[in-house]
Amino acid sequence: MSGAPRATVLTAVYNGAPWLAQSLASVLTQDFADFEFVVVDDASSDESPAILAAVADPRLRVVRNPRNLGLTASLNRGLELARGDVVLRHDADDLSLPGRFARQMALLDARPEVGVCGGFAAMVDGQGRSLDIYRVPVGHGPIAWAVGFGHAFAHPAVAVRTGLLRAVSGYDPAWRVAQDQELWTRLVWTTRMANIPEPLVEYRQHAGMASRVRGAEQRDGDLRARGRFLGRLLGREVPPELLRWNSVPPLPGAPGRPPGADAREIAGFARVVAGALGALRRQFCATRAEARAVGRLAGRKLHALAAGAAGAGAALLAARLLARAVTLDPSLLASAELARAARAARRALGAPGRGRA
């Protein structure tokens, strides 16, 4: 292949022998072929180096770390070597599904304002058995909302313009895990983002993945990244303890929540949600449709908080959150969970009509 390739497929591997050969083949058989395949071997001690050495495809470029540096440092090393205009992320234990690269490159070609393009993921277990579809929001406004409150991308399914990645200095070395979540909190300010609403990768769930091996550290990094993004969005500090209520549904009395502090924390997080809704619409929503979609997402978040408030005995707060939630997303009126929360709130308030939905 003469000259620079259009794209760089970037993978880091550490002791990935059980799935590596199949993973490599899923990249090298893509119908879009104008790419280099940079694999950073993070000092593997299993058969991974031999599997890589057995691949004869000239597009494959393997570099080996002298010692184990971790995923963040390995990805940054690969980014330094990338010659393509687009970086296509790919994990060594996952498969890129047929046509993935062609779909993403076509979208980036057709929409120059989009700098990050991802897609859904077909989740499988360690034996390759189907589990579920990992869905992410499609448009830029809802993706920006998900940077603060949801899941913006499936990291192994993203394509990012190389210049944008380098302009923000790549992955932050301070995040050994949750490095993708932290990256989105910086990139979202610099470019439009999109997801293709179909599975682009087969995303393997197994006991050795970072989210299971280092789960507590992953959650801490995720909260720190979201807190920084929301703090910048709102122009004020967002206390980390409030972000624990981002889980859906919030359960009063769950481990780690201070006794008696539930209603106060729910109210504080609800203010973050409400403030972020207005700021996100102004900053990131280019159309009314995007603004309405973000409003529905905020409504569902407030709906979950209302259920938590009702369970904590904060009936007036629950009623207020319910009212705001259904204003933003009227479809919640049909929710059985909402009806139960409303009945609980009315009983606690002693309001007329108790016992009826």
243-263 residue pLDDT tens: 888 874 544 444 444 444 578
What is the rounded (10 degree) CA torsion for 45, 47, 49, 54? 170
* 3-class DSSP state of 267: helix
Say how far apart CA 343 and CA 51 lie, in whole Å.
61
Whether 127 and 208 map to the same domain: the answer is yes
Q: Which two tokens stand for residue 315?
A: 């009936």
With 50 as the cut, is the pLDDT of residue 355 above it? Answer: no
**pLDDT value at position 203?**
94
**pLDDT value at position 246?**
87
Percent of the chain past pLDDT 90, that is, above it, reads 73
Whether 40 and 130 map to the same domain: the answer is yes
Domain that includes residue 337, residue range: 239-349
With 60 as the cut, is the pLDDT of residue 352 above it? Answer: no
Does residue 3 come out as left (phi exceeding 0), alpha (psi in the -120 to 50 range) or beta? left
> Is residue 356 a part of any domain in this protein?
no
CATH of the domain at 152: 3.90.550.10
Q: What is the tens place of the pLDDT at every residue in 122-133?
A: 999 877 788 899
> Is residue 323 a part of any domain in this protein?
yes
Instruction: Tell which residue, 238, 221, 247, has the closest CA to residue 308.
Output: 247
**pLDDT value at position 12?**
98
Q: What is the reported pTM?
A: 0.89
Task: Say how many domains are in the chain.
Answer: 2
Instruction: Tell which residue, 41, 15, 37, 16, has the closest CA to residue 26.
Output: 37
> Is residue 38 a part of any domain in this protein?
yes
With 60 as the cut, is the pLDDT of residue 303 above it? Answer: yes
Whether 318 and 251 map to the same domain: the answer is yes
**pLDDT value at position 127?**
78
**pLDDT value at position 340?**
61
Is the CB of residue 67 less than 8 Å from the CB of residue 43? yes
CA distances, 193 to each of 1, 78, 178 (Å): 30, 23, 19
Whether 264 and 310 map to the same domain: the answer is yes
What is the phi/psi pair of residue 196, to 5°?
-85, 125
pLDDT band at 343 (very low <50, low <70, confident <90, very high): low
